[in-house]
Amino acid sequence: MRGMMTAHSFYRPLSGLDLLGRTADDPRERGRVVLESLMRIEEVESEVRAMTAVARREAAMATATAARGPLAGMPIAVKDIFDTNEFVTSYGSPIYESQQPKSDAAIVTLLRRNGAVIMGKTVTSEFAYMSPTATRNPCGLGRTAGGSSSGSAAAVAAGIVPFAIGSQTGGSTIRPASFCGVAGYKPTFGILPTVGMKCFSWSFDTIGLFAAGVRDVAYLAQILSGRQLAVERVSTSPVFGVPDSYPWTEPSANAGAVLDIAARAIEDAGGRIRRVRFAPWMADLISAHDTIQSYEAYQALGFEYDHHRADLSPKLAAFLERAAHVDTATYAKACVSMEQAKDRLSELFDGITALLTPSAPDEALDGLGSTGDPAFNRNWTLLGCPCVNVPGLWGARGGPIGVQVICRPRDDARCLDAAAFVERAITGIVGLFPQHRE
C-alpha cells in the first residue's frame, strides 16, 4: 500500500492532542515543546523551505511559559496570506516584501487568545493563487507540496508544528494536505473569520486548518470556531456516497485504487458505501467557479495589477488579464447558478452521511513546477461545503494520497466525525500510520 520512502524524506507529523496531553500534565513542558519546534526548524527548514519567518527563541519561550487557554503553549504556524503584527507579511509577492502590518488578522488573534504560540509564517503561493513555490514535500523533496498553502501543509508534515493555518479558494487546503500526508479541513464557508486575510475571491476565500490527524484538526476547529466540532465518539455505521464518475476529470488509476481501498476499509469497519451519480448541474459549476473567482480577483488585486503588473508572476498576470474580460452580467449569471446549486445541494446528500472522493487526481507531482490540479475541490469550495482530507494511504509511486470527506454546509461536526471514522477504518487495514513505520 505504500512505496519505499526516499532517503531524504522529512515526514514526521506530530499529534497536537498528544502534545496538549503532555503539557497538561506538566505546564513546564510548554517551553520544551516550543524549543523542540525551533530545533526542528533548524534541522529541516533548509531542505523543506516551509517558513518565511520564524519567531525569536526568547519571545516564543516567554509566550509559551505565560500561555493560558485550550491551546496553551502549542506551536502553530500561519500562512503568509494573513496579517501579523509580529512578522513581515508579504502574501508571497515581492510587492509586499518588507510589509509589517500594524495588526493581526482575526484568526491570529483567536489563536493568541486561546494560548497558541505563533512560531512563524509559512510559504504561500503568490496571493494564494497557483504559482509554484520553493517549498518541498517532506514525503519526498523532489515533489511539490501543492498549493497555495504549501508551507502550512509541509510544516505539519515535517513535524515543525502540530497545527498550521492555511486557506482555500479553490483547493488550497485539501490538495496540499493530500500531497503531504496530513489532515486538512476546509470548514463551511464563513465559520472562521477572514478579516485580515489578503482577499482573492470574497465569495470563496475560506480559512483552512492542518494537523497530523482528523481528531487533531477537529479539536483545533472547535477551539477557533466556538462550535462543538471535536470528535468525541466516532459513528458506528455512516453511509458514504462514492460517485460513479466526475464531471471535471477522472482520478488517476493510482488515486482510484486508493479510493477503493478506503471504501473496503469503511465496509470492513461497519460503514456502508452507496454509489451516487452527480446531476448535470454539477458540471455547470466548473465554469461558474472560474467566472466568479476571475471577476472578484480582478477587483481584489486591482491595485497590484494596475500599479505593479511587472512584479506579478507570469501565471497570475495572465490570469488577471483574462479576468479583465469577465463582465458584470456574466458574473451575475454565474452567481445565480451558484445559489441555485446551493438550493439543490440537499438532494446530493439524500440518504448518505457524507460523500467520499479522492482529494486530488493523484499523489504529488514530481518537480516543483506545478502546485497540482484542484479539480476535485473547486465545486465544494463554491458550494461552501465542509471538506476533510483523511491521510493514511499511499500511492504506487510512494507518496501519500488522501481521500476527501464532504458534507453539506453547516454539517461540519458530521463531516469531521465521518472523516474520523474513515481514518480509523484505514488504520485498521494498514496497521500503524506510515510515520510510525521503519
What is the rounded distance in angstroms from the CA atom of residue 232 to the CA atom of residue 215?
9
Angle at 292 between CA 411 and CA 251, to 5 degrees: 65
Mean of the pLDDT values across residues 412-416? 98
What is the rounded distance in angstroms from the CA atom of residue 433 to the CA atom of residue 394?
10
Q: What is the residue-averaged pLDDT of the chain?
A: 95
What is the rounded distance in angstroms from the CA atom of residue 169 to the CA atom of residue 159?
26
What is the rounded distance in angstroms from the CA atom of residue 161 to the CA atom of residue 13?
8
Mean of the pLDDT values across residues 409-426? 97
Q: Mean pLDDT lowest for which of 104-108, 341-345, 375-379, 430-434? A: 430-434
* Residue carrying the nine cell digits 467557479: 289
The answer to whether 400 and 363 are in contact (CB under 8 A) is yes
Residue 273's domain comprises 16-277+347-436
Point out the catalytic residue in the list 9, 172, 178, 225. 172
Q: DSSP 3-state helix, strand, coil percentages of the chain (rounded to 5)?
A: 40, 15, 40
Q: How confident is the model at residue 8 (pLDDT cuts 50, 70, 90)?
A: low
More confident residue, 345 or 429: 345
Is the pLDDT confidence value at 12 over 90? yes
Instruction: Quick: pLDDT tens for 224-258.
Output: 999 999 999 888 899 999 999 999 999 999 999 99
Is the pLDDT confidence value at 181 over 90? yes
Indicate the number of domains in the chain: 1
* Residue carrying the nine cell digits 441555485: 340
| pLDDT (0 to 100) of residue 430 | 63
| pLDDT (0 to 100) of residue 433 | 39
Mean of the pLDDT values across residues 157-185? 98
Cell, residue 75: 506551536
270 is a domain residue: yes
| pLDDT (0 to 100) of residue 434 | 44
| pLDDT (0 to 100) of residue 7 | 41
Nearest to 169 by CA among 406, 381, 374, 410: 381
The answer to whether 377 and 168 are in contact (CB under 8 A) is yes
Nearest to 139 by CA among 365, 389, 414, 420: 365
| pLDDT (0 to 100) of residue 25 | 81
> What's the whole-model pTM score?
0.96
Q: How confident is the model at residue 432 (pLDDT cuts 50, 70, 90)?
A: very low
Is the pLDDT confidence value at 318 over 70? yes
What CATH number did the domain enclosing 66 receive?
3.90.1300.10
Is the pLDDT confidence value at 20 over 80? yes
Is residue 172 annotated as a catalytic residue, yes or no? Answer: yes
Q: How confident is the model at residue 428 (pLDDT cuts 50, 70, 90)?
A: confident
| pLDDT (0 to 100) of residue 1 | 42
Strands in 51-54's sheet, in edge-to-edge order, are 51-54, 117-122, 75-79, 163-168, 206-211, 183-186, 387-390, 403-406, 354-358, 239-243, 272-276
The secondary structure of 26-68, three-state, reads CCCHHHHHHHHHHHHHHHHHHHHCCEEEECCHHHHHHHHHHCC
Which residues have C-beta within 8 Å of that of residue 332, sequence separation ≥ 6?
A: none
Mean of the pLDDT values across residues 137-145? 96
Q: DSSP string covering 386-427, please?
A: -EEEE---B-TTSSB--EEEE--TT-HHHHHHHHHHHHHHHH
Q: For residue 275, which phi and psi values (nearest 5 degrees)?
A: -75, 135
289 is a domain residue: no
325 is a domain residue: no
E-assigned strands of 170-290? 183-186, 206-211, 239-243, 272-276
Q: How confident is the model at residue 435 (pLDDT cuts 50, 70, 90)?
A: very low
Is the pLDDT confidence value at 35 over 50? yes
Is the pLDDT confidence value at 3 over 80? no
| pLDDT (0 to 100) of residue 17 | 98
The answer to whether 282 and 384 are in contact (CB under 8 A) is no
315 is a domain residue: no
* Residue carrying the nine cell digits 493555518: 165
Point out the catalytic residue in the list 37, 90, 148, 294. 148
Residues facing residue 77 across a β-bridge: 120, 164
| pLDDT (0 to 100) of residue 429 | 79
Give me the amino acid identity at 421. F
Cell, residue 51: 517558513
Is the pLDDT confidence value at 73 over 60? yes
216 is a domain residue: yes
Is the pLDDT confidence value at 40 over 50? yes
Point out the catalytic residue in the list 9, 37, 79, 131. 79
| pLDDT (0 to 100) of residue 2 | 42
308 is a domain residue: no
* Residue carrying the nine cell digits 463554491: 382
Is the pLDDT confidence value at 106 over 70? yes
What is the rounded distance in angstroms from the CA atom of residue 136 to the CA atom of residue 180?
10
Mean of the pLDDT values across residues 384-396? 97
Mean of the pLDDT values across residues 316-340? 98
337 is a domain residue: no
| pLDDT (0 to 100) of residue 44 | 97
201 is a domain residue: yes
Which residue pairs, CB below 8 angstroms and at least 24 apart, start in 325-328?
Answer: 326/291, 326/294, 326/295, 326/298, 328/295
| pLDDT (0 to 100) of residue 233 | 85
What is the rounded distance in angstroms from the CA atom of residue 381 to the CA atom of residue 292?
12
